[in-house]
Structures are given as structure tokens and as C-alpha cells.
């Protein structure tokens, strides 16, 4: 459920007309709904009840500090994959004890930074990383709280580029190695193995692969405990899909949580999850304006002022994003190719999309764009970085202003040897 609805024929985010935001801020612009963000955290928490769960929002999905602060107020933590994301989470008020640090390429500096902040847990993805962490923690006289990220050799997800759990993916260690690494960490004076972690992919629309991955965690937990090793935490990762309106709905948070509780029942562990898309995707839209209609032969291209530089998912993963007119029309739908202004054919959002005809200057909105939208935006073609707006009830505010071309140029320099 989200809070983007038509009122008197005009698309609103909560109590604010998207047209009012476009008039005040210009287009393209991302617009986020506070009520939707809050609701998604609550839905996930309720789904797990009475089992407590750390909902560590995957910051990579939406790193805006106003979004993170909104989620932090609901009790969410943060799953991070860089020192930058940890900094953002802290700045937004996420307490360190709710921050998880994942990723295959953590540098020494980043491990050091994470330890200095006293975060909840570092998810270790390799033997080499474990070694570095042990050494850095030793130098600091600390004990690093960690989980071993297991690669269960089960890939899943909406696109091959976003599947992370397959045996050929770069993420995590094999189940056998996880046992050995865990024991090694346990024997190390500066390492504190708390548990195991898994994350097999994103936009997963079937519970079966998730359940298999959780079973792997269960088996490993039992084996480690049989060796007398303490396993107090399981981190189930993210990955649950959301409806993009072109496919049957994915499983509900309730079904997902019921499966997790059933699969891991009786283990007596603290659970964490790392949802990104589920929390943020349907909480955001990208508002864009029609620049013109380019007609050639029997094709009509709806040229929008948003491009792949603002929303790259269709170009990168052939992703579907519904496009809705900001002002409802009764006109009969016709096929349009939805494109941006960027100078490559990849800058195509959709082919042959059926839409009530729009005119130059009309506003429309790409739906389900709150996750992996603004965070993946760039300044390609020297376009100003897209701004972001947060709505709460009848109020809205700019939470990232448009970065002007002059500001972008100011980061560069003309050396005197030219």
C-alpha cells in the first residue's frame, strides 16, 4: 500500500498535489511519502510479532538522510555497504547499535571507521576480510562483533544482475567455509562472532529460495552449536519483491515473516532483516514533464525531461515502472515509447506503453521509484543532479536540492599546464 492517489483527478502524494511540487521545485523531481515509509516499517515489524526483529533498512536503496531519519524514528536500523552509508545513517540519527556493515570490498579504513563507531555488526564475506578485521580490532584493543555471510549457492531475484546468492556470485563464503571461519573467529581474541548472515538477491517473488537459504542458516547454526560455539544472531538479508504492476504480486511481508519464523523456529536467536526495496520503492515516485512528442513512421516517442541519468533501472535491468499522468484523462489509451533526453538509445523507459495521450508540458510520474532511483542517479550529459522532496501530510520540503551545473563545474579545475 502507498499514499499516491488521485484526488479530484489530480495525482497526490498524501495531501500534496504533485503538480504543486513540480511548480515549486521543477522537474524531474523525486517525491517520497512519509506515511508510506512509516507504514512499511510497521508492517514488517507486525509481520514478525511477537518475535522482535531488527529492521536494518538497506541504505543503498535510498540514502537520503531525511528518509533515513524518518525510518530511524520508527525504530529501523541500517544495513550499510560503505563508510559513506554508515556516515549517512549516523547523521540521520540511526543509533550505531542498529547499524550493520556488509559488502565484499570493505577497505581497512572502512573497517577501522566501523569499529570506531561501535556498530552492531560487521558481516564478514571472506577469510581475508576476517583476517584484516582481526588485525585492525587488535590494533584498537577492541573485539569486533561480526557475522559470517554465507553464500548458500541459491541465487534469486528479479534480474540476473541483482542476484547475489548463487555459487558464481562474488558474495559470501560457502557453507563449509562458514563453519571453519566461525571457529577461527571464535578462537581470535579480537573477534566476536555473533552469528550468520545471508542475502541471496533482490526483487524476489517466490519464498522458496529464501526458505532454502534460511534452512542453510538453520543447519549451520545447529552444527556450530554442536561444536560448542555460540550463535546468537541470524541476519536474513533483504530481497523481498514489491509490486511494480506488471506481474502478479510478490508474497506479502506476513507470508515472508511466517515462513522465516517457521523455518527458524525454536532456535532462540535474535533476528535481523535488511529490506531496502520493500520499505522505499512504493514510497517514492519520479515526477517528470513531457518535453515533446516525437513522431516517426508509426512510432510515437514521448520525450520526457527525466532520463536514464535520473532513473536507470529500465536501462540497466529492463525494469518496469508504471507511468501515470499527474492529471487523469478520459481519453482512450494509445501506444507510446517512453524515452528521456539522453543521447543514447538505452535511454528508453518503455516501448509501446498504452497511455492516454499527453501533450508537451504535461506532468506524469514514474511509480515505485523510491528505491534504487535517486541513489543511482548521475549527472550524465551534464544534467543537474535530480532533487528529492519529502511529503508529510499536507506539507512538503526539499530534502535534496537540485545541484546546479555551476556547482558541478565548481568541483573541477583547469590546471595551469593546459
Q: Which residues are catalytic?
A: 343
- How many residues touch ligand LLP under the rule CB under 6 A: the total is 22
For position 387 contacting ligand LLP by CB under 6 A, the verdict is no
**Number of residues written out for the chain:** 418
Alpha helices in 92-126 (DSSP H): 108-117
Residue closer to ligand LLP, measured from CB, 190 or 199: 199
For position 126 contacting ligand LLP by CB under 6 A, the verdict is no
Give the range of 31-39, 69-77, 276-284, 356-364 binding ligand LLP by CB under 6 A. 276-284
For position 320 contacting ligand LLP by CB under 6 A, the verdict is no
Give the range of 4-12, 89-97, 174-182, 269-277 binding ligand LLP by CB under 6 A. 269-277
Gap between the Cα atoms of 306 and 341, Å rounded: 7
> Binding mask 25-64 vs ligand LLP (x if CB under 6 A, - otherwise)?
---------------------------------x-xx---
DSSP H helix total and E strand total for the chain: 12, 20
If we measure between CA atoms, which residue out of 321, 254, 246 comes closest to residue 288?
321
> Binding mask 81-100 vs ligand LLP (x if CB under 6 A, - otherwise)?
--------------------
Indicate the SS3 state at residue 379.
coil
Among 199, 218, 233, 392, binds ligand LLP (CB under 6 A): 199
CB of residue 329 vs ligand LLP: minimum separation in angstroms?
Answer: 30
Burial of residue 417 (number of CB atoms within 10 Å: 0-12, 13-18, 19+)? exposed
> Binding mask 139-168 vs ligand LLP (x if CB under 6 A, - otherwise)?
-----------------------x-x----
Element (H, E) at 284: strand 284-296
Among 125, 274, 347, 388, binds ligand LLP (CB under 6 A): 274
Q: Which of residues 326-365 bind ligand LLP (CB under 6 A)?
A: none
For position 238 contacting ligand LLP by CB under 6 A, the verdict is yes
Q: Are 119 and 99 in contact (CB under 8 A)?
A: yes
Gap between the Cα atoms of 236 and 195, Å rounded: 11
For position 372 contacting ligand LLP by CB under 6 A, the verdict is yes
Cell of 240: 523481498
- Cα 299 to chain centroid, rounded: 35
Among 27, 33, 82, 102, binds ligand LLP (CB under 6 A): 102
Gap between the Cα atoms of 392 and 112, Å rounded: 37
Amino acid at each position: 500500500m502507498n499514499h499516491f492517489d488521485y484526488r479530484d483527478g489530480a495525482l497526490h502524494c498524501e495531501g500534496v498535489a504533485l503538480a504543486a511540487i513540480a511548480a515549486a521545485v521543477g522537474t524531474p523531481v523525486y517525491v517520497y511519502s512519509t506515511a508510506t515509509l512509516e507504514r512499511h516499517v510497521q508492517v514488517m515489524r507486525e509481520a514478525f510479532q511477537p518475535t522482535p526483529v531488527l529492521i536494518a533498512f538497506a541504505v543503498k536503496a535510498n540514502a537520503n538522510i531525511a528518509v533515513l531519519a524518518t525510518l530511524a524514528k520508527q525504530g529501523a536500523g541500517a544495513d550499510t555497504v560503505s563508510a559513506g552509508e554508515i556516515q549517512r545513517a549516523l547523521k540521520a540519527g540511526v543509533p550505531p547499535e542498529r547499524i550493520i556493515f556488509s559488502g565484499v570490498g570493505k577497505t581497512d579504513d572502512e573497517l577501522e571507521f566501523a569499529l570506531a563507531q561501535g556498530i552492531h555488526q560487521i558481516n564478514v564475506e571472506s577469510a581475508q576480510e576476517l583476517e584484516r578485521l582481526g588485525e585492525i580490532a587488535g590494533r584498537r584493543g577492541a573485539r569486533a562483533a561480526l557475522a559470517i555471510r554465507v553464500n548458500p549457492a541459491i541465487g534469486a531475484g528479479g534480474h540476473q544482475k541483482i542476484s547475489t546468492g548463487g555459487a558464481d556470485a562474488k558474495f559470501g563464503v560457502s557453507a563449509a567455509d562458514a563453519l571453519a571461519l566461525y571457529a577461527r573467529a571464535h578462537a581470535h581474541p579480537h573477534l566476536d562472532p555473533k552469528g550468520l548472515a545471508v542475502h541471496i538477491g533482490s526483487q524476489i517473488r517466490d519464498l522458496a529460495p529464501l526458505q532454502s537459504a534460511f534452512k542453510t542458516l538453520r543447519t549451520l547454526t545447529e552444527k556450530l552449536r554442536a561444536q560448542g560455539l555460540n550463535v546468537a544472531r541470524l541476519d536474513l538479508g533483504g530481497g523481498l519483491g514489491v509490486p511494480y504492476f506488471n506481474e502478479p504480486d510478490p508474497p506479502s511481508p506476513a507470508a515472508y515473516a511466517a515462513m522465516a519464523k517457521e523455518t527458524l523456529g525454536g532456535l532462540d536467536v535474535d533476528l535481523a532483516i535488511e529490506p531496502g526495496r520493500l520499505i522505499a520503492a512504493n514510497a517514492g515516485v519520479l515526477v517528470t514533464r513531457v518535453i515533446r512528442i516525437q513522431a516517426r513512421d508509426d512510432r510515437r516517442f514521448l520525450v520526457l525531461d527525466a532520463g536514464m541519468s535520473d532513473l536507470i533501472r529500465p536501462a540497466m535491468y529492463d525494469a518496469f515502472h508504471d507511468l501515470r499522468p499527474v492529471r487523469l484523462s478520459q481519453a482512450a489509451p494509445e501506444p507510446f515509447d517512453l524515452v528521456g533526453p539522453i543521447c543514447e538509445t538505452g535511454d528508453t523507459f518503455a516501448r509501446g506503453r498504452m497511455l492516454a495521450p499527453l501533450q508537451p508540458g504535461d506532468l506524469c510520474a514514474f511509480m515505485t521509484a523510491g528505491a534504487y532511483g535517486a541513489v543511482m542517479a548521475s549527472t550524465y550529459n551534464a544534467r543537474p543532479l535530480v532533487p528529492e522532496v519529502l511529503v508529510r501530510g499536507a506539507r512538503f520540503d526539499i530534502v535534496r536540492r537540485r545541484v546546479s551545473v555551476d556547482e558541478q563545474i565548481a568541483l573541477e579545475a583547469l590546471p595551469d599546464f593546459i
